Amino acid sequence: MAAYGLYTHIAANRSRSVLLLAGLFLLIYVLVFAAALVGEAIGDSGYPMQYYLAAATRDLIQALPFATLGAALWIAIAYFFHQNMIDALTGGRSVTRQQQPKLYNLLENLCISRGLPMPQLKVMESPALNAFATGLNRRQYAVTVTTGLLEALDDREIAAVLGHELTHIRNGDVQMMVIAVIIAGVIGFFAELVVRLFFNAGWRFGGGRSSSNNDKRSGGGALVAIILAVALIAAAWALSQLVRLALSRAREFLADAGSVELTKDPDAMIMALRKIESRGELVGATSAVMEMCVDNPRSGFADLFATHPSVQARIDALVSYAGGHDPGPLALPPEASAAEAPPTEAADRALPPAGPWREPAPPGPWGPR
């Protein structure tokens, strides 16, 4: 289903979620079939390829209930405990209105303005500038922000980031990403089991029943079965990784647009992106967590496997379609060794060291700061 705006994107994501879950079980069955091929070829290398295909098919039919139950159990565990796993990885902790009154009020006001359910609010101790949303249903939704983000951005910019994450929740992007992570985890786990089965068996090509007579009548059937099994495992693993990339990068453009729709402040979103740019790396976070963040600096090889569009592309879209104004890239904070160096134009435009809740600046050319 093609998506042309925020609302069609929501409907498209719901359809994709169902397809992804169906695809998960299909890939599991492919891996079970590959495991059966490996097992049959290891057990007896003296038959033609047709024999191994038929035997593996019988094994697959017998294993279907167990494979389905295993995949369903994995999904259930991820459904109920994925937030605990993410919090354990990132150190995120829930905060209340009393602990973070301004941050809590910013999120609550955005939710009230669109009638959205209030997600849990979490803060993680990290100097990185980033935020992400998680959850599979209204009871689980959570928005996590780093302490570095709170220290570097002002109220308007933090509200823009919160609006971005709320739009991911509203659009169903969060569910899509969690499902994609589940798929990758299940496929990776099953693929590793099959590989271990193959290597732990100590099977050697040319071994098995016996010798040249078997080779003549098998026509290398066992070897072909093994090659086919390896190809199926590799294809299933590659597809599980591509699923994460198949969640179109357009979701970030739409989340930026949704933030502007909530805050009516494109300049705040642009400035937030400029400050976050190249400063969002969460040390120790898995690639799955980074893919959920406002910005993922892990671009991959030549950007071919980047999960996010570039910050410049996102800002260009906000300038073109939302009427925002781009101040240009901000210089990274100077190193301590250069702290006493004369100020330069780059240093003048470096990330401000102000605290999390600065007093509003005087009105700028595009409205109050």
Note the pLDDT of residue 146.
97
Q: What φ, ψ does residue 297 adopt, rounded to 5°?
A: -70, -10
At 185, which amino acid appears? G
Spans of the chain, pLDDT less than 70: 1-14, 16-17, 45, 197-198, 200-220, 243-249, 299-306, 333-369
pLDDT at position 156 is: 97
Q: 165, 252, 277, 281: which one is catalytic? A: 165
What does R_g of the chain's alpha carbons equal in angstroms? 26
Q: What's the pLDDT tens digit per position in 78-101?
A: 888 888 888 888 899 999 999 999
- Contact present, 146 and 289 (Cβ < 8 Å): no
User: Is residue 255 within 8 Å of 168, Cβ to Cβ?
Assistant: yes
Enumerate residues 6+ apart whose C-beta is below 8 A from 298: 281, 287, 290
Instruction: Phi first, then psi: give them for residue 142, nearest 5 degrees.
Output: -150, 145
Give the count of alpha carbons within 13 A of 229, CB side only: 30
Written as six digits, the tokens of 283 are: 């040390």
- What is the pLDDT at residue 368? 41
Q: 309: closest CA among 267, 266, 277? A: 277
Q: Tell me phi and psi for residue 305, to 5 degrees.
A: -110, 25
At residue 202, the pLDDT reads 53
Q: Which of 155, 137, 136 is nearest to 145 (CA)?
A: 155
Catalytic residue check, 165: yes
For 120-147, how does the pLDDT look when each residue is reduced to its tens digit (9 = 90+)? 999 999 999 999 999 888 888 999 999 9
Q: How many CA atoms lie within 13 A of 359 on its CB side?
A: 1
